[in-house]
Structure 1
Amino acid sequence: MCGIFCLLTLTPSQFERDKTVHEHLKRRGPNLSQDLTVRGSCYQCLFSAHVLHMRGLLTPQPVEDNAGNVLEWNGEIFGGLPVKPEENDTTVVSQRLSTCSSPSEILSVLSSIRGPWGFVYYQKAGDYLWFGRDFFGRRSLLWRFDTELNALTLTSVAARGSGSDQAVWQEVPAAGVYRIDLNATAESGSVMFEVYPWADGGTDEVSSCCETILESVPSGCAAVMNQSGLVLPTPVRPLNTTIPTSLNETEDHQNSCVKDLEQLLASKDKNDEVNRLIEVLSEAVRRRVQALPFREQDVSLPDEQASVALLFSGGIDSMILAALADRHIPAYQPIDLLNVAFKLQEPKKQKESANKHKKHNNKPKTDAADSRTSSPFDVPDRITGKAGLKELQDLNPERKWNFVEINVTQEELQKMREERICHLVYPLDTVLDDSIGCAVWFAARGAGFIMEDGDQRAFTSSAKVILTGIGADEQLAGYSRHRVRFKTSGFEGLIQELAMELGRISSRNLGRDDRVIGDHGKEARFPYLDEDVVSYLNSLPVWDKADLSLPRGVGEKLLLRLAAKQLGLGQSAVLPKRAMQFGSRIAKMEDKREKASDKCTRLLTG
């Protein structure tokens, strides 16, 4: 993974880089930083890249080939293009792009890659600048155009400004890739993006992509569909939009209970579906936990440092990832389970009552029930996380599972939000973005403690790879709004909701999470958004994935719950969905009556 930056200027004036942006980029790529400048007759491109070394030889970026092409690559190849264990994927992409002489050939290379990416590529022949994000937008890329300086900036991460500077940065839509004809731009003095959208060829799909892009084009720039009508073929199969013709097709389980998970598994068809899901998800996890930085190690010695960590709540999404990671990570290596909790605020009345009680009775309480509830960090995700840890220990007692308790006070939250997190969440700005951005940032930092022989020991996770469960709810109807939509609009409404969820995941979640996790010099990986996993889930009719006639904790993400049972997991298989902002209790910390969609004033710095 890397922090990439490109500044295209159409005037000879000097441009001073934002120091805050530069610091953010360096934290994303702590292993190596380098600049490179390309000058044309009437333009100048400054490329700046900051590398987080993940596999193969440490490769400096930007990469310039023998023909003068320049690549900045922020991504991982998990399939589609062959990458040998000793090879670096940046070098592989650079070599493949250097053989391309036409737009269709460049699109062919990009569309073949399986895995997350954001890139900027200067094509010397013809003076073109290409850039974009993968189909799901799993890597952040932002853009803005400064009309005063006549300069376009592309960057992995920006910095929140103040006043009139607030609205200039936007996320590059993950709706396609873009090409700028630098000579034509220099002649006209204005930036025009040629758009190459992701599509399966349908005109409606192309129109929808172009509409999404036009809404986000920076002020002072313009975008047009490429004249050849070329598209990038989407890397996943279309969503199955079949609607049942009768209730029998959906096997109405209105009166079912938890034990019916086992009964459902007894059905051969259902059992085959579950095993296929486990197969594709296990392979997705394998790709992500084995493509790791090379390091020498003596297998005979215990390895104290984990290579892989998980954002871990003990809920079904993270439990399944942990169980599958356990299959593919050597038994002698620990796995870090990152569990974040925000300090519970004691209600005023309760404080007053406690103070009165102290005056009348100075003798401290020592009963077991009181000691169990005494910690202000006993939030719901901490409780389910510890229960999940016990299940994983039962599943593999030989594995060292580092359950990292990450406790955050209001003072530290406010300090780090102001110093760092507000810039990383930006340009997103809602209460929900604040809550999740802060929770993920502290979790990914991995600084807390673990319990050893009944004692707390300070601990900071060293893992560079962090697995996250995002994508499961969006595909398997895990949110409460899916139940509401199903109740009001039936299967047709539910299918529309699921299609929308996956379509907007880049702008709602993934860019933000990539910026927040990357700030620690760590890389987010998303097994539920592996192209093969998404294609398999898209192939199934919606009622095979979820049965919202069943109660909470069973019906939503039903197929995943059956997979959990098949993997030998216990109570975690039937835990109801709890959003991170509520499970970690960050939503309660501010003690404000806010809506998730409200603009968050706490994110403003000026």
Structure 2
Amino acid sequence: MCGIFAQIGQAPEILCQKLREANATRGPDARKSCRTCLSQLDLEFFSSELRLRGNDPVIQPHKRDGNVFCWNGEVFAGLDIHADENDGIKLFEQLYSLETCEQVRDLFASIEGPYAFVFYNATVQKLFFARDPLGRRSLLIHRPSTANPYFILASVSAGSDSGYSFEELDTTNILCLDVGLLNESKDIVSAFDDCLTTFSRADAGSVNFYAQPAKVNTILPPNDTPLPDDSLDVIPDWLQESVDGLISVLDRSVMLKVRDIPRDPVAVLFSGGIDSTILTLLADRHVPRDEPIDLLNVAFENPRKMKVLQEGNPNGGRKKKSKARNGVNESANNVASSNSPQYMVPDRVTGLEEVEELRQLCPGRVWNFVEVNVPYHESKAARQHVEGLMNPVRTVMDLSLALALYFASRGIGQVRPEPEDEPIPYTSPARVLINGLGSDELLGGYGRHRSAFITGGWAGLQLEIDRIPTRNLGRDDRVISSHGKETRHPFLSLDVVSYLANLPVQMKMDPRLSLGVGDKILLRLAARKLGLVEASGRRKRAMQFGSHSARMEGDMKGDALLE
């Protein structure tokens, strides 16, 4: 994983330096720039390196005979890479001989993993760049304008600045900029669009298995489809094979995400919900037993919530909180009783419950339950920095989610060697973070899926694989990677996506059943089969509400733009 900054033209040096520094935080192991000069245009390529593959130090950009490759990604399938090899080097070896966009497109259509890349072929003087089909890695683009007549690509911006107008790079295409033709023009602004070509991934021919996400099975169940029991205790015969298939494909995805990581332990962004818990349980199968696994659980001091706690909530908030507390088991309750009340947020409660369930199922593992407590003054002080990392997205909900991810992934908190012990300060050294994002889109976990069924029946349900690339994965990557860490999404392996997309909708969700059963029923049955009794029945709760990072100061709607 790395930070990428590339520019063509003559961007102000002070702006370039800001962008180099912003992208350097993503890769603390190495950084380097290289330049290429044509008759009219200067090209600069900068990369920083977070080394997570291979045994030998790697310094980017990769260079050979004038060709330059900046790689921010991981290859998990489609390319034969040994544990001691670096995937960026292996890809560059193959790219070196390619000259056309079709060839480049077909190479990337054959690999699976999160990525963004920039590749300059000096022979044909063309620049190729793209993100993976699901947009799991960030790449921002600034197109030349009259005010700012230069071209920039960057993994992350340096915050709001009049020197660029960044937008997320679309994931639909591989893009090719004819730098030689652009160099011959007198005006980079007017010539740019004519020099830029887009190639759809869907035309990748016989090697297009990883070219784009699989299409959703649109065959609808008959109107008289039997209603399963409103329970997770027994797997219906007609779902047995699909449950086993999901466990198998998800287990393999987790294995590929956690194996062969040098030096540091693995961490999970851990709310205690079904998504993060089942991934954690599967990770236990593949992480050496003598290595701890860090469970990063974030909680915010929220002035509005504290006021409700102190004065009561006329809408029943206190009653709901009390009900949640009653579900905490004895060991978790020991920790809860010694926690400051402002940090006993919903995700802390469920997290404490689930770490106890994991300890019962996997007694040989050291589970570091990291209580990441964020005082209000600290989250307020970080707001400007986090808004800069989010850029170009700027809504209230973006900020709430970004704050939660920023502090959780930083991993500074406290742990308790035993549940009844006093906490001791702890900073997670993990540089790979497992994230449960993606299951709701694939398995019908959102409330709007139930609403769509109520109004339109089975035909009204449209599971949202096509929306995943626009679900702000780039934002999450920019925020988490600012700590020199990498997030990995087992649910968003294209193999997992393909498996679930091919299943009929009634195998993935059944809105006729109650909440905590019918939503994501396939995953719930899989979790129950693996022994996660408590986790299997957890209801969906958004991160910003579970951690109390939302609405700290007012009631602005989530889609409102930040001031």
TM-score, normalised with respect to structure 2: 0.90
Note if contact 2:292-2:368 (Cα within 8 Å) is conserved in structure 1.
Answer: yes
Which residue does 1:4 correspond to in 2?
4
Which residue does 1:72 correspond to in 2?
70
Note if contact 2:101-2:128 (Cα within 8 Å) is conserved in structure 1.
Answer: no
Give the whole-Å Cα distance in 1 for the aligned partners of 2:164 and 2:17. 19
Q: Determine which of 463, 468, 475 is the counterpart of 1:505.
A: 468
Which residue does 2:86 correspond to in 1?
88
Which residue does 1:102 correspond to in 2?
100
Confirm whether residue 600 of structure 1 aligns to residue 557 of structure 2.
no
- Cα displacement string for residues 164-185 of structure 1 (whole angstroms, at most 9, x for unaligned residues): x398111111111100111211
Which residue does 1:430 correspond to in 2?
395
Distance change >3 Å, CA 536–CA 28, structure 1 → 2:
same
Matched letter for residue 84 of structure 1: H
Distance change >3 Å, CA 324–CA 350, structure 1 → 2:
closer
Which residue does 1:554 correspond to in 2?
517
**How many residues get paired?**
530
Note if contact 1:389-1:403 (Cα within 8 Å) is conserved in structure 2.
Answer: yes
Confirm whether residue 488 of structure 1 aligns to residue 455 of structure 2.
yes
Note if contact 1:198-1:232 (Cα within 8 Å) is conserved in structure 2.
Answer: no
Which residue does 2:324 correspond to in 1?
none
Give the whole-Å Cα distance in 2 for the aligned partners of 1:63 and 1:338. 34
After TM superposition, the structure 1 = structure 2 runs for residues 196-207 of structure 1, keeping only pairs within 5 Å, are 196-199=199-202
Distance change >3 Å, CA 352–CA 546, structure 1 → 2:
closer
User: How much does 1:483 deviate?
Assistant: 1.0
User: How much does 1:493 deviate?
Assistant: 2.1
Distance change >3 Å, CA 187–CA 31, structure 1 → 2:
same
- Cα displacement string for residues 187-235 of structure 1 (whole angstroms, at most 9, x for unaligned residues): 2332132001222689xxxxxxxxxxxxxxxxxxxxxxxxxxx999734
User: How much does 1:44 deviate?
Assistant: 1.4
Distance change >3 Å, CA 200–CA 125, structure 1 → 2:
closer
Distance change >3 Å, CA 309–CA 586, structure 1 → 2:
same
Which residue does 1:191 correspond to in 2?
192
Confirm whether residue 150 of structure 1 aligns to residue 149 of structure 2.
yes
Matched letter for residue 224 of structure 2: L
Note if contact 1:196-1:231 (Cα within 8 Å) is conserved in structure 2.
Answer: no
- Cα displacement string for residues 127-173 of structure 1 (whole angstroms, at most 9, x for unaligned residues): 000101000010000011343452100000002226xx398111111
Which residue does 2:436 correspond to in 1?
469
Q: What SS class does the counterpart of residue 512 from structure 2 fall into?
A: coil
Give the whole-Å Cα distance in 2 for the aligned partners of 1:374 and 1:408. 12
Which residue does 2:331 correspond to in 1?
none
Confirm whether residue 234 of structure 1 aligns to residue 205 of structure 2.
no
Confirm whether residue 384 of structure 1 aligns to residue 350 of structure 2.
yes
Which residue does 1:262 correspond to in 2?
233
After TM superposition, the structure 1 = structure 2 runs for residues 117-132 of structure 1, keeping only pairs within 5 Å, are 117-132=115-130
- Cα displacement string for residues 419-444 of structure 1 (whole angstroms, at most 9, x for unaligned residues): x2111111011111000000001000
Which residue does 2:329 correspond to in 1?
none
Which residue does 2:298 correspond to in 1?
340
When structure 1 is superposed on structure 2, of 448-457 and 461-470 the one drifting more is 448-457
User: How much does 1:242 deviate?
Assistant: 0.7
Distance change >3 Å, CA 347–CA 472, structure 1 → 2:
closer
User: How much does 1:352 deviate?
Assistant: 7.8
Note if contact 2:210-2:494 (Cα within 8 Å) is conserved in structure 1.
Answer: no
When structure 1 is superposed on structure 2, of 19-28 and 131-140 the one drifting more is 19-28
Q: Determine which of 368, 371, 376 is the counterpart of 1:405.
A: 371
Matched letter for residue 175 of structure 1: T
Which residue does 2:171 correspond to in 1?
174
Matched letter for residue 599 of structure 1: L
Note if contact 2:106-2:204 (Cα within 8 Å) is conserved in structure 1.
Answer: no
User: How much does 1:348 deviate?
Assistant: 5.0
User: How much does 1:335 deviate?
Assistant: 0.3
Q: What SS class does the counterpart of residue 72 from structure 1 fall into?
A: strand
Which residue does 1:25 correspond to in 2?
23
Distance change >3 Å, CA 348–CA 559, structure 1 → 2:
closer
Matched letter for residue 390 of structure 1: E
Confirm whether residue 394 of structure 1 aligns to residue 360 of structure 2.
yes
Confirm whether residue 528 of structure 1 aligns to residue 494 of structure 2.
no
Matched letter for residue 348 of structure 2: R
Give the whole-Å Cα distance in 2 for the aligned partners of 1:80 and 1:201. 15
Q: What SS class does the counterpart of residue 586 from structure 1 fall into?
A: coil
User: How much does 1:266 deviate?
Assistant: 5.0
Which residue does 2:36 correspond to in 1?
38
Q: Determine which of 319, 341, 344 is the counterpart of 2:277.
A: 319
CA RMSD of aligned residues (A): 2.3
Q: What SS class does the counterpart of residue 28 from structure 1 fall into?
A: coil
Q: What SS class does the counterpart of residue 587 from structure 1 fall into?
A: coil
Q: What SS class does the counterpart of residue 199 from structure 1 fall into?
A: helix
Which residue does 2:243 correspond to in 1?
274
Q: What SS class does the counterpart of residue 232 from structure 2 fall into?
A: helix
Give the whole-Å Cα distance in 1 for the aligned partners of 2:28 and 2:428. 16
User: How much does 1:42 deviate?
Assistant: 1.9
Confirm whether residue 244 of structure 1 aligns to residue 221 of structure 2.
yes
Q: What SS class does the counterpart of residue 340 from structure 1 fall into?
A: strand
Note if contact 2:105-2:201 (Cα within 8 Å) is conserved in structure 1.
Answer: no
TM-score, normalised with respect to structure 1: 0.84
User: How much does 1:547 deviate?
Assistant: 0.5
Give the whole-Å Cα distance in 1 for the aligned partners of 2:343 and 2:77. 41
Confirm whether residue 330 of structure 1 aligns to residue 330 of structure 2.
no
Distance change >3 Å, CA 167–CA 128, structure 1 → 2:
closer
Percent identity, aligned pairs only, is 40
Give the whole-Å Cα distance in 2 for the aligned partners of 1:527 and 1:231. 21
Q: What SS class does the counterpart of residue 158 from structure 1 fall into?
A: coil
User: How much does 1:586 deviate?
Assistant: 1.2
Which segments of 5 or more consecutive residues in structure 1 lack a partner in the other structure? Answer: 203-229, 296-305, 354-367, 602-606
Distance change >3 Å, CA 21–CA 392, structure 1 → 2:
same
Q: What SS class does the counterpart of residue 504 from structure 1 fall into?
A: helix
Q: What SS class does the counterpart of residue 550 from structure 2 fall into?
A: helix
Note if contact 1:236-1:532 (Cα within 8 Å) is conserved in structure 2.
Answer: no
Note if contact 1:344-1:379 (Cα within 8 Å) is conserved in structure 2.
Answer: no
Give the whole-Å Cα distance in 2 for the aligned partners of 1:103 and 1:317. 38
Note if contact 1:197-1:232 (Cα within 8 Å) is conserved in structure 2.
Answer: no
- Cα displacement string for residues 238-264 of structure 1 (whole angstroms, at most 9, x for unaligned residues): 21011123322xx324xx43xx3232x
Note if contact 1:58-1:88 (Cα within 8 Å) is conserved in structure 2.
Answer: no
Which segments of 5 or more consecutive residues in structure 2 lack a partner in the other structure? Answer: 313-333
Which residue does 1:299 correspond to in 2?
none
Which residue does 2:549 correspond to in 1?
586
Give the whole-Å Cα distance in 2 for the aligned partners of 1:370 and 1:396. 22
Give the whole-Å Cα distance in 1 for the aligned partners of 2:105 and 2:142. 24
User: How much does 1:372 deviate?
Assistant: 6.9
Q: What SS class does the counterpart of residue 34 from structure 1 fall into?
A: strand
Confirm whether residue 286 of structure 1 aligns to residue 289 of structure 2.
no
Confirm whether residue 447 of structure 1 aligns to residue 412 of structure 2.
yes
